[in-house]
């Protein structure tokens, strides 16, 4: 009787510990109990751990799972490993039930998105039965190793998924290999040195909050030239390619560069305009944490923007200084405002560019964009990273593929000397849906 009470007390402690999982785990027998069981050949346990009386066991309710597809079917009643204790078999049943529940959850869909660059492109497809065998194998090994520490499914599962993902990664092609080995690809990829661009830097540089990748009303302007380049049309008046570095200030660079170019076209140039003025002083937007294109243009409309000479760019490391009260040389800050700010419809993009000069566009950046080197970019593989603001400079056709010519703000080493081409007429990555402009108010 004393032994039964002690066992019941132990079971209550285990039950409280595992209440969230509704998972039953008996107490392991002591060394003396194991020796007694081995000596007693007539014992019904035959060396296995002692289970409590049936009347003292807590009944585990069955999981009401929807019927899984045939390729996911698992016969739980026969999921017993030979020569293994029944306790391990019950643990596997519970784990497999939770595995199928997990496959129907939002977390599993997010997991599929993370591995989409391997599975969606057909680079590596692990069959369901291989995935399941790996899961069972890892579950058995980890369960045996950690049995004495009472670690259960929530701890084991992330390690198992990580192991499977690591195995898949070993056999997967890189993004550069996927792009360059595709005979239908319209662009060329290259692996840049880490000092030019890397995952951390590109995530820091993406700073646009509002994007739309839906259909647009774009119609090619047949009355305009087939090719147009603002650098040629307004030779010597366009601003150079700059580098925003590790700051999500692309929205500020796009506005400043648009104002610089359009002021030069109107023959009222004051030099290169200052993105730092917007990063530090535009409190409507968020500095290195990004901005909204229309909001930044409204700020220039109301407050204006000064020159790079007055407020030089200083946030390349991600630190935003407070808005200065005077220029760097101590002189008063003089700002130029913009009129006619607003959205540019997709159908008017070519005409607006041809008549008034470059303007700001924004698009969604995917993983493959960071390895762009030349050609006409089209999103091929990789997950979404964020939004990016740039400046459209022209259009044309390359190998029967219409494109927009875009000036980026990642320096001259990246892309085609700091520029890139992207498919025109299909709202590729939302490039034709988020376009904004303003007309400088020359004094």
Is pLDDT of 335 > 70?
yes
Do 385 and 314 lie in one domain? The reply is yes
Catalytic residue selected from 261, 356, 408, 427: 408
Structure pTM? 0.64
Q: Is residue 66 part of a domain?
A: no
The confidence score (pLDDT) of residue 207 equals 86
Catalytic residue selected from 288, 388, 427, 429: 388
The confidence score (pLDDT) of residue 65 equals 43
The confidence score (pLDDT) of residue 200 equals 86
User: Could you tell me which of 238, 296, 250, 269 has the C-alpha nearest to residue 437?
Assistant: 296
Q: Evaluate whether 430 touches 363 at the Cβ level (below 8 Å).
A: yes
The domain tally of the chain equals: 3
Is pLDDT of 69 > 50?
no
Q: Which residue has the tokens 């039964």?
A: 4
Last residue of a domain, one of 172, 200, 230: 172
Q: Is residue 83 part of a domain?
A: yes
pLDDT band with cut points at 50, 70 and 90 for residue 280: very high
pLDDT band with cut points at 50, 70 and 90 for residue 95: low
Q: What is the mean pLDDT of the chain?
A: 76
Do 130 and 52 lie in one domain? The reply is no
Tell me, what DSSP letter sits at residue 105? Answer: S
Give per-residue pLDDT as tens, 193-227. 988 888 888 988 998 865 666 667 777 777 899 99
The confidence score (pLDDT) of residue 166 equals 55
Do 256 and 140 lie in one domain? The reply is no
Do 280 and 401 lie in one domain? The reply is yes
The confidence score (pLDDT) of residue 244 equals 95
What mean pLDDT do residues 24-36 have? 51
Do 356 and 390 lie in one domain? The reply is yes
Provide the residue range defining the domain that includes 419.
187-440
* First-to-last C-alpha distance (Å) of the chain: 99
Give per-residue pLDDT as tens, 287-318. 999 999 989 999 999 999 999 999 999 999 99
Beta bridge partners of 188: 374
Residue 414 structure tokens: 């990246």
Q: Is residue 68 part of a domain?
A: no
Do 103 and 213 lie in one domain? The reply is no
Q: Is residue 67 part of a domain?
A: no
Q: How far apart are CA 393 and CA 408, in angstroms?
A: 10
Known catalytic membership, residue 408:
yes
Q: Is residue 109 part of a domain?
A: yes
Do 161 and 120 lie in one domain? The reply is yes
Is pLDDT of 22 > 50?
no
The confidence score (pLDDT) of residue 3 equals 45
What mean pLDDT do residues 325-337 have? 95
Give per-residue pLDDT as tens, 416-431. 999 999 999 999 999 9
Q: Is residue 288 part of a domain?
A: yes
Say if residue 302 is exposed, middle or buried (CB neighbours under 10 Å; 0-12, 13-18, 19+). Answer: exposed
What mean pLDDT do residues 40-44 have? 49
Do 145 and 49 lie in one domain? The reply is no
Q: Is residue 194 part of a domain?
A: yes
What mean pLDDT do residues 39-56 have? 49
What mean pLDDT do residues 367-376 have? 95
pLDDT band with cut points at 50, 70 and 90 for residue 410: very high
60-to-18, 19, 94 alpha-carbon distances in Å? 12, 11, 10
Reported for 53-60, long-range contacts at CB under 8 A and 24+ positions apart, including other chains, are: 53/4, 56/4, 56/7, 56/8, 56/11, 57/24, 58/11, 58/15, 58/24, 60/22, 60/23, 60/24
Do 32 and 111 lie in one domain? The reply is no
Residue 143 structure tokens: 């369960």
Catalytic residue selected from 250, 281, 310, 429: 250
Give per-residue pLDDT as tens, 106-161. 655 555 555 444 433 433 444 555 555 666 666 666 666 655 555 554 555 565 56
Known catalytic membership, residue 388:
yes
For the chain, how are helix, strand and coil distributed in percent, rounded to 5? Answer: 40, 15, 45
The confidence score (pLDDT) of residue 84 equals 41
Do 362 and 404 lie in one domain? The reply is yes
Do 228 and 333 lie in one domain? The reply is yes
């Amino acid at each position: 009787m004393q032994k039964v009470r002690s066992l019941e007390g132990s079971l209550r402690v285990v039950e409280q510990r595992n209440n969230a999982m509704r998972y039953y785990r008996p107490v392991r027998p002591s060394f003396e109990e194991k020796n007694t069981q081995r000596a007693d050949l007539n014992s019904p346990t035959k060396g296995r751990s002692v289970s409590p009386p049936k009347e003292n066991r807590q009944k585990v309710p069955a999981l009401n799972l929807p019927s899984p597809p045939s390729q996911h079917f698992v016969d739980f009643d026969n999921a017993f490993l030979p020569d293994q204790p029944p306790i391990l078999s019950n643990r596997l049943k519970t784990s497999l039930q939770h595995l199928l529940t997990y496959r129907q959850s939002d977390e599993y869909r997010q997991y599929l998105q993370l591995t989409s660059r391997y599975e969606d492109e057909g680079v590596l497809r692990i069959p369901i039965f291989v995935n399941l065998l790996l899961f069972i194998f890892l579950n058995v090994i980890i369960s045996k190793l950690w049995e004495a520490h009472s670690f259960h499914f929530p701890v084991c599962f992330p390690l198992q998924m990580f192991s499977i993902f690591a195995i898949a990664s070993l056999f997967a092609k890189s993004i550069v290999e996927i792009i360059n080995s595709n005979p239908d690809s319209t662009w060329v990829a290259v692996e840049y040195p880490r000092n030019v661009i890397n995952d951390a830097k590109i995530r820091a540089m993406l700073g646009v909050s509002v994007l739309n990748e839906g259909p647009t009303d774009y119609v090619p302007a047949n009355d305009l030239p087939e090719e147009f380049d603002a650098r040629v049309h307004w030779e010597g008046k366009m601003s150079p390619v700059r580098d925003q570095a590790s700051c999500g200030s692309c929205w500020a660079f796009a506005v400043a560069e648009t104002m610089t170019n359009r002021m030069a076209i109107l023959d009222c140039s004051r030099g290169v305009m200052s993105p730092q003025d917007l990063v530090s002083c535009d409190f409507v937007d968020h500095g290195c944490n990004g901005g909204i294109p229309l909001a930044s243009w409204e700020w220039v409309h109301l407050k204006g923007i000064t020159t790079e000479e007055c407020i030089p760019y200083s946030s390349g490391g991600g630190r935003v200084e407070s808005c200065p009260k005077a220029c760097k040389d101590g002189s008063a800050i003089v700002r130029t405002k913009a009129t006619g700010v607003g959205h540019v419809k997709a159908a008017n993009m070519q005409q607006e560019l041809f008549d008034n000069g470059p303007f700001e566009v924004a698009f969604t950046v995917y993983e493959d964009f960071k390895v762009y080197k030349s050609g006409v970019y089209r999103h091929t593989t990789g997950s979404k990273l964020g939004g990016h603001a740039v400046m459209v400079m022209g259009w044309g056709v390359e190998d029967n593929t219409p494109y927009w010519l875009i000036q980026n703000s990642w320096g001259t080493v990246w892309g085609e000397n700091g520029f890139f081409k992207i498919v025109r007429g299909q709202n590729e990555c939302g490039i034709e849906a988020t376009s904004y402009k303003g007309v400088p108010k020359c004094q």
